[in-house]
Structure 1
Amino acid sequence: MTDATGKLSVREKIGYSLGDLAANLIFQTLVTFLAFFYTDVYRIPAASAAKVIFVVGLLGAFVFTPVIGVLADRTSTRWGKFRPWILWTAIPFGVLSLSAFTTPDLGQAGKTAYALATYTLLMLVYVANNLPYSALSGVLTGNMDQRNSLSSYRFVAVMIAQFIIQVLLLPLVLILGNGDKARGFEYTMALFAVIGTVFFLITFFTTRERVVPVSGEGSSIRQDLTDLMRNRPWRVMLLLTILVFVTLALKGGMYVYYFKYYLDPGALAHFVDAVGVNRAIEGLNRGLIGMGLAGFHWPQDAPTSAFSVFSAGGVLCMIGGICFSRRLADRYGKRDVFGGSLFLSTLCLLAYAFYPPDAVGLVMLSYMLHGFFYGISTPLLWAMIADVADYSEWRNHRRATAIIFSAMLCGLKTGLSIGGALVAAILAAYGYDGDAAVQSPSVVQGIRLTVSVYCAIPFLLGIALLFRYEINKSTEKRIEHDLELRRASAASSA
């Protein structure tokens, strides 16, 4: 292999990160609003919508992801292995994102079939874009400190996309559609499609693969899989990824119930007014209406309004945590910083078990601190997976970057599926009644335990797993040094 281990330019880091911003405008919309769009906008029966989402999720995790991983590792073009996939999928990604959120009148069976077809194609193109994109981070540079920096840039972009979707998407839908949600979703996704296509092209043109295979180096699919199963850091990262995303899906799905049924509506309304949100919305609407546009449709009920404010605060604090991630990882190593930040964020989750319904200020403080500490860990997960690819090459003298990332994306999708299913299962176990305006004390207690104790358990298991992850700071440096010498020797003898 040949490898340029010099410092990546800010231009290349920003160019790379724009690809994740583009992808997450769509991914975050799918995770947060696809079920709502199918049931409340396109009017597909809930059972049919659930089947579509579940079936396509399984296809994405266990069919599309491994197949694309194998193909990407065996791609060879003048642009490299992974960059071409970003170029090839840029326009199809935009077209299918728009198609999946359009609402042709086809009857109930036709709507379900249309949803299944468009979501399946979108998931296929998403995997064909995002898996090579993720693997690209492992071949832009062999310098592990630079990967820490690259991941920080990348996940600031992710948080920007998350902020746009969680806080601004529904108001944007209502504004662009002038109150018509179906038309608003189409216009919004058309806007995202154009922005995303441009950003993917910027990523392609501003990046360069530097860790490239020497002619003749290669391995069989069977050998790649054998290497994976013998790679203990990979096994640890797979389980860790599943556990992290179980908690993310579990708390993400349960927060809306926590705000609606546990926290006191009067205290929430007072908090939103006290921090100046209502005055800010009134000022914004005066400006929008003065320009001839529809007003910003801010949710009026206290739980939904407060949750939007909390989401905004949490995302901003996560961005703050990401900004500290690289410096801490450079000094102490990714493993130790990841475990420490995950532990502190877990303490913030456990604090919810002790707050009364009117302690809105404390809930907000814990929410923001959790966002900050978890933000430190966010870019490190993917940087550690790139290090696992280096570890595999170091031990086996073969590199299979994409298949390692594909396994982690399988873990991600598995964790999201388990966490999402646990939300419904826990609610059912405590006797949740969707038609009841007020839930029983046992249901409220179950919701409270879920956002605190139950969400903390996977994180704590993940922290324990890290004691089995052997790539600490000194091992990082040893791997980097050995691979640099090996690649230089291969290049000089080529």
Structure 2
Amino acid sequence: MSQSASQKKIDPNIISSNVKVRPFGFRDKIGYMLGDFGNDFFFILVSSYLMVYYTDVYGISAAFVGVLFLAARLWDAIADVTWGRFIDTRKPSKHGKFKPWILRMSFPLVISGVLMFIHIPGMSYGFYEAYAFVTYILWGTLYSTVNIPYGSMASVITIDPIERTSLSTYRTMGAMLASLMINAVGPLLIFVDNKASANGFLMAAVIFGILAYASYLASYKLSTERIVLEENEGPKAKLGHTIKGLLKNKPLIAILGASLIFMMSTMLIGSVNVYLFKDYFNNAAALSIVGIIQTVTVFIAIPIVKPLVSKFGKKETTTVGMLLAAAVYILLFFLPNLTAIQYISLTAIGMFGYAFFNIMIWAFVTDVIDYHEFLTGLREDGTVYSLYSFARKVGQAIAGGISGFAITAIGYHSTREVQTESTLEGIYALATIVPGVIYLLIFLILVFLYPLTKQRMKQLTIDLKEQKITRK
């Protein structure tokens, strides 16, 4: 794009007429899917297995890990907003505004991911604490530099609401495919005789790191930014206007709250499930089955999302799914004597329920970005998306802290071959009633606090078109 074109005020929902761009298609969907495919190789590995790596390989206390997770995620939340605001004030390159950052930062991100899983035998307890602290925070910071532009990119790939929903669906597919690989293959690599293996963790990190970098490169090559955003005047000139708009954006606040506690539940389940199957069910290999079923439930939900959303709306479809998930996990709490297979079978129904939130969340985000534009007249995709990511990171921080403290509070000790009965009961409660209550709370937020119903979204589209005509 020429210098004069980049400085010109352009409707953010108009494809540039100066550059010939291929139409939106399957290539974009695959490219966008591969971005989260790359993201989640390390994200899921970290969220599901890093705590047990620190407690069982490094020998660090679960309480310290909880403090580390809390501090790191709060730092990452600040980094997300700072990076999103930074990107919103940059001029687009000829390859777009967001995707060049994926190319620039993905290699350092992958290297930092591998560094987290290096174990040097014979070092002191303090060394392991310091090494964990530095490498984990480094990885989280670099993750922001890739994930924020990647998430923001959806709104400039296409303006069509149906196409944006398909991007959200394909993004979820990418995450689920990565989850399938990690949860199906990961336990076979990282556990030897039902115990965490330092060499197994490093091997998994290297393999997943290579796959992640290849996915980032493919996402960069296959995705196309079509929407030309107007150049912002700078962070100081519009920051006050932006903050006022964010505070008035009730749909954004509601979805931030729902996403925050949903991420808390996801992280908590990921961390606690390792102990649940390793200690409570004495079957760490069953984690592979859980990972496969979680992916299968999403792929079952994907083909029925579009007709359900077309008939009832995003909000309406998602609320029913969350109510189903809440009912299942609360029921599980009152059924403590299940076998591993019985437990997995029932959780599959709950997974199917919250799969709709997983699939639709990115479409919710693009809707609240549109609503922000309606309120402020500004198209600030990076800022709004980074605020959403901020909420997710806060949820991760809280979950990381809670899970570490909770595992310690119920009496877990990594040196014990067999945990006490009260500890096992505590693990089971953490894995069932806590997520059940969280899913019920999300249901209530969506029903009573999130106003963008199917009819309201239709009206919002009309209002935005009229607003753009007026500005011209």
TM-score, structure 2 normalization: 0.84
Post-superposition shift, 1:411? 1.5
Match for 2:40: what amino acid?
Answer: N
Query: What is the distance in 1 between the residues matched to 2:113 and 2:280?
Result: 36
Q: Does the aligned pair in 2 maintain the 1:262–1:357 contact within 8 Å?
A: no
Does the alignment pair 1:90 with 2:90?
A: no
* Distance change (3 Å), C-alpha of 1:359 and 1:93: closer
Corresponding residue for residue 119 of structure 1: 136
* C-alpha distance after superposition, 1:235-261 (max 9, x if no partner): 111111122122223333333454456
Corresponding residue for residue 161 of structure 1: 178
Q: Does the aligned pair in 2 maintain the 1:156–1:319 contact within 8 Å?
A: yes
Q: Does the aligned pair in 2 maintain the 1:73–1:402 contact within 8 Å?
A: yes
* C-alpha distance after superposition, 1:176-230 (max 9, x if no partner): xxx9944444443333333222221221222222333235677522322221111
Corresponding residue for residue 469 of structure 1: 450
Corresponding residue for residue 87 of structure 2: 72
Match for 1:167: what amino acid?
Answer: A
Q: Does the aligned pair in 1 maintain the 2:187–2:288 contact within 8 Å?
A: no
Within a 5 Å distance, the mapping from 1:233-252 to structure 2 comes to 233-252=251-270
Corresponding residue for residue 248 of structure 2: 230
* C-alpha distance after superposition, 1:18-71 (max 9, x if no partner): 01010110111111222333444456676665554443222112x211111111
Post-superposition shift, 1:115? 3.5
Corresponding residue for residue 150 of structure 1: 167
Query: What is the distance in 2 between the residues matched to 1:213 and 1:304?
Result: 49
Q: Does the aligned pair in 1 maintain the 2:190–2:197 contact within 8 Å?
A: yes
Within a 5 Å distance, the mapping from 1:183-198 to structure 2 comes to 183-198=199-214
Does the alignment pair 1:171 with 2:192?
A: no
Q: Secondary structure of the equivalent of 1:398?
A: coil
Corresponding residue for residue 421 of structure 1: 401
Query: What is the distance in 1 between the residues matched to 2:327 and 2:58?
Result: 40
220-229 or 121-130, which moves further after superposition?
220-229
Q: Secondary structure of the equivalent of 1:3?
A: coil
Q: Secondary structure of the equivalent of 2:358?
A: helix
Corresponding residue for residue 5 of structure 2: none
Corresponding residue for residue 33 of structure 1: 49
Query: What is the distance in 2 between the residues matched to 1:53 and 1:376?
Result: 27
Query: What is the distance in 2 between the residues matched to 1:330 and 1:139?
Result: 23
467-476 or 114-123, which moves further after superposition?
114-123
Corresponding residue for residue 276 of structure 1: none
Corresponding residue for residue 381 of structure 1: 361
Q: Does the aligned pair in 1 maintain the 2:336–2:428 contact within 8 Å?
A: no
User: RMSD of the alignment, in Å?
Assistant: 3.1
Q: Secondary structure of the equivalent of 2:284?
A: helix
Post-superposition shift, 1:81? 2.4
Post-superposition shift, 1:447? 4.2
Query: What is the distance in 2 between the residues matched to 1:187 and 1:259?
Result: 22
464-473 or 448-457, which moves further after superposition?
448-457
Query: What is the distance in 1 between the residues matched to 2:212 and 2:428?
Result: 38
Q: Does the aligned pair in 1 maintain the 2:63–2:408 contact within 8 Å?
A: no
Does the alignment pair 1:317 with 2:297?
A: yes
* C-alpha distance after superposition, 1:350-404 (max 9, x if no partner): 2213435145554232111112222122121121011101001012211221222
Query: What is the distance in 2 between the residues matched to 1:344 and 1:114?
Result: 42
Does the alignment pair 1:412 with 2:392?
A: yes
Question: Which residue, 151, 154, 159 being the options, matches 1:134?
Answer: 151
Query: What is the distance in 1 between the residues matched to 2:88 and 2:231?
Result: 14
Match for 2:228: what amino acid?
Answer: V
Query: What is the distance in 2 between the residues matched to 1:111 and 1:446?
Result: 28
Q: Does the aligned pair in 2 maintain the 1:144–1:480 contact within 8 Å?
A: no
Query: What is the distance in 2 between the residues matched to 1:432 and 1:181?
Result: 19
247-256 or 200-209, which moves further after superposition?
247-256
Query: What is the distance in 2 between the residues matched to 1:45 and 1:450?
Result: 18
Gaps of 5+ in 2: 1-10, 16-21
Query: What is the distance in 2 between the residues matched to 1:410 and 1:469?
Result: 19
Corresponding residue for residue 342 of structure 1: 322
* Distance change (3 Å), C-alpha of 1:73 and 1:474: same
Match for 1:352: what amino acid?
Answer: L
Within a 5 Å distance, the mapping from 1:202-213 to structure 2 comes to 202-213=218-229
Match for 1:21: what amino acid?
Answer: F
TM-score, structure 1 normalization: 0.81
Corresponding residue for residue 333 of structure 1: 313
Post-superposition shift, 1:432? 5.9
Gaps of 5+ in 1: 264-301
Question: Which residue, 217, 236, 241 being the options, matches 1:201?
Answer: 217
